[in-house]
């Protein structure tokens, strides 16, 4: 094998790669926050809304969970302009990831909600609490406690899967890596380092989310979920 590894060129572009990693993390966090809010609304609609709204929420979840994320991004970025709605690549990426996370997150939350004893809900109703207050205090927080590990894993998976946004020219670590390797002709070196950065980000996120779980749900409030 005559290939000579030259990681010096990667070091010369280290700040570009770190900036790409920062953009990836920023996109993932923003999409997760928006997606979690959407997931809560959808989960609430599927549990408490009138039948037409429940049907619309279920259709949204099934559509997003059973179509490829890349195709969803193509629809947002390439198809919507045909209808007069033009989005920037970064905006389309944020919306696409948020909608996708919302669909998966709502099902994870719904699973947590189904674990709440019906007696607790009936007791809250007997005390005269409104449907929203019951959902917020009696259902949502305990459900988040149960669903948090799965939601955290979904967040990390979305961060890793966000690399597909480079296909619509959104700026992230993968997009920057593609540009650098195409101009330096050092594909192995740049993709190897990009892989290492994704691994480091995933491990760091899992650690941070684990700490957040211990802060948000102290042992006295946990339901036995690690």
Q: Which two structure tokens, joined as six digits, stand for 168?
A: 């619509």
Q: How far apart are CA 175 and CA 187, in angstroms?
A: 13
Q: What is the pLDDT of residue 115?
A: 80
Compare 33 and 226 and report the one with higher pLDDT.
33
Percent of the chain with pLDDT over 70: 96
pLDDT band at 134 (very low <50, low <70, confident <90, very high): confident
Average pLDDT in the chain: 90
Model pLDDT for residues 145-192, shown as the tens digit of each residue = 889 999 999 999 999 999 999 999 999 999 999 999 999 989 999 999
pLDDT band at 220 (very low <50, low <70, confident <90, very high): low
pLDDT band at 135 (very low <50, low <70, confident <90, very high): confident
Residue-by-residue DSSP string for 139-172: IIHHHHHHHHHHHHHHHHHHHHHGGGGGGGT--S
Residue 99, pLDDT above cutoff 50: yes
Give, in order, the Cα–Cα distances in Å from 178 to each of 34, 157, 168, 202: 28, 21, 13, 20
pTM over 0.75: yes
pLDDT band at 111 (very low <50, low <70, confident <90, very high): confident
Residue 23, pLDDT above cutoff 90: yes
Mean pLDDT of 116-137: 80
Q: What is the pLDDT of residue 74?
A: 97
Percent of the chain with pLDDT over 90: 71
Compare 130 and 76 and report the one with higher pLDDT.
76
CB atoms near residue 21 (< 10 Å)? 19
Element (H, E) at 19: helix 14-48
CA dihedral 50, 55, 58, 63 (to 10 degrees): -150
Report all structural domains of the chain as residue ranges with CATH numbers, in order of start.
8-215 (1.10.3720.10)
CA 10 to chain centroid: 29
Residue 224, pLDDT above cutoff 90: no
Q: What's the length of the chain? A: 226
Compare 101 and 129 and report the one with higher pLDDT.
101
Closest C-alpha among 34, 46, 77 to residue 164: 77
Q: What is the pLDDT of residue 142?
A: 85
């Amino acid at each position: 094998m005559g290939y000579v590894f030259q990681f010096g060129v990667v070091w010369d572009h280290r700040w570009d790669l770190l900036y790409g990693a920062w953009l990836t993390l920023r996109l993932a966090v923003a999409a997760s926050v928006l997606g979690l809010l959407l997931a809560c609304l959808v989960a609430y609609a599927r549990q408490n809304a009138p039948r037409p709204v429940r049907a619309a929420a279920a259709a949204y979840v099934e559509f997003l969970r059973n179509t490829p994320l890349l195709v969803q991004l193509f629809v947002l970025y390439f198809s919507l302009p045909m209808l007069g709605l033009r989005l920037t690549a970064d905006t389309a990426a944020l919306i696409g990831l948020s909608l996708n996370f919302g669909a998966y997150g709502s099902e994870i939350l719904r699973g947590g909600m189904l674990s709440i004893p019906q007696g607790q809900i009936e007791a809250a109703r007997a005390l005269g609490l409104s449907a929203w207050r019951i959902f917020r205090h009696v259902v949502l927080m305990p459900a988040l406690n149960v669903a948090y590990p799965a939601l955290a894993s979904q967040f990390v998976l979305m961060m890793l899967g966000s690399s597909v946004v480079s296909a619509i020219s959104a700026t992230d670590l993968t997009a920057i890596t593609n540009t650098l390797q195409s101009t330096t002709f050092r594909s192995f070196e740049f993709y190897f380092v990009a892989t290492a950065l994704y691994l480091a980000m995933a491990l760091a996120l899992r650690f941070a989310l684990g700490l957040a779980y211990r802060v948000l749900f102290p042992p006295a409030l946990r339901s036995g979920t690690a």
